[in-house]
Chain A
């Protein structure tokens, strides 16, 4: 996924082969495709084929240890769609994704504007803020576990020093939810910030000056000039965060394991439990396929938004 893909407009002159090369364009094209073949074989063989195999499995009853999968038609789908746990995990996923995305975008934009406004030291601040994003996600989640751990964590120590009884962060359904959102915000806001900041740096300053001359200031400047200019970066960042937070696994696994009970169980966590705890590979594939359909739907929505811009409708 690239920002480029979100902003690339085709140069009409570059669209066709140049006259000098058109005579030999055909054999050249074939040899260029030969460069793509090895990589394409890997993608087809180790990525597309497994996905198709999983789609195939989703119509079978297949548990680990069973010798042959047994065809059951759409039974897996019907069974899962009738399960409360599936709908609960879908709801959990949607709420987690929506909350984290909203907070990360708001904070990321604020930070990017701050960096942009800063006359010096922007580089140091962006580096410091950026550290959490690159840390191994499992390690990042552990760091936060030590902040939110009951009794011994830093959060409890700080809250207790104000003589307030601290909540059971990871043990109560609502607080566990909040903790996971905080973890996501902590690790991924820097990413949103960096992309938006890069967009701001590429912005035409003359536009801003023009806005100021017309008397716009503060929020109006942001809303009417900066945000429209950042459209490709905003779409990119939202698309990436949407897809990635939809499949968040590491932080939930480490922080709550989906608990307490199934309070923080997302679609990915439930698929994992189906496959590797209940050993029901058929149903796990089914849930994976359903997740894929949801994510693909959302993604297509974003791609169509992006193409609308390319046609100049926005």
Chain B
């Protein structure tokens, strides 16, 4: 009885919060498809003729497509280096039971807690002395390093689910550690690799602080471009909103695909690296 009575109240409260969560996004979508004069009319105009002029202008004429490519290169580069390294280490650590392995895993957690700004300063100094500011490798190296603890922990959780008896059986069949890994374990860990790759991709795609300092006109990523994008005319709002919406869209797609794995990825990585 109580359960039934409570339902409408629960639904109401959840709807209220969902509205709170979605309003800023809907508002931004509206700004991006309204004429500036309509977008800032008070009270807000509910009926208007939508326009996609600003979307076209920001992505094509103002080079946001280029920034998207930079973001994609850096994010993919990060995944292609970080995930294989992390997968190897995660396998080793999932099978090791010594105290040292446990301490190493704890050490990775501690490293994950370092303030990023503290890492950024030496990164900047080294990249500057090697003239690597505004190059892809500098940014990719930074992202790989930052992602490593997360990648290892997440992949390890998948390897822990694969029974050790398989390793032992493979050893008895004459596999050495490497062939056990590549021929027996790795094929079973494919779903884990996909999930880990996507989370690493998202982390690198969202990164701002490092990109702000390590990228420049040749390698600027979307978050930096949209944060810098300014201007005083009213069109700026519409253009900027169109850019922001475009940056968000791939993430929504990501969400649709990965709903099932969200909790695991988050409990292990807490995406905001």
Contact = CB atoms under 8 A, between A and B. Distances in A.
A230 B250 CA distance: 33
Given A5-B105, A32-B177, A117-B3, 5 more contacts: A50-B123, A51-B122, A243-B113, A250-B209, A250-B223
The interface residues of chain A, by DSSP majority, are classed as helix
Given A28-B177, A134-B202, A285-B121, A118 B126 contact: no
Interface in A82-135: 107, 110-111, 114-115, 117-119, 121, 123, 125, 127-135
B73 interface: no
Contacts of B58: none
Interface in A138-153: 138-140, 142-144, 146-147, 152
A271 interface: yes
Contacts of B157: 2, 4
Interface stretch (B13-21, B60-68, B189-197): B13-21
Interface string B104-145: 111011111111111111111110100000000000011011
Contacts of A143: 24-25, 27-28, 244
Interface in A214-253: 236, 240, 243-244, 246-247, 249-250, 253
20 contacts: A1-B153, A5-B105, A33-B92, A39-B85, A43-B145, A43-B149, A118-B10, A118-B14, A119-B3, A143-B24, A157-B42, A161-B43, A190-B21, A194-B262, A195-B266, A198-B263, A246-B115, A254-B227, A285-B118, A295-B115
A63 B36 CA distance: 44
Interface in A283-309: 284-285, 288-289, 291-292, 295-296, 299
A9 to B, nearest CB: 13
B252 A133 contact: no
Given A191-B270, A276-B213, A29 B98 contact: yes
A35 B112 contact: no
Contacts of A54: 118-119, 121-122
A97 B219 CA distance: 33
A127 B259 contact: yes
Contacts, number: 288
Nearest to B259: A127
A167 interface: no
Interface string B204-237: 0110110001000000001100110000000001
A50 B17 CA distance: 42
Nearest to A267: B115
Nearest to B225: A138
Contact of A42 (B10, B40, B148): B148
Nearest to A188: B272
Most chain B CB inside 10 Å of its own CB: which residue of A50, A246, A254, A284: A50
A125 to B, nearest CB: 5
B265 to A, nearest CB: 10
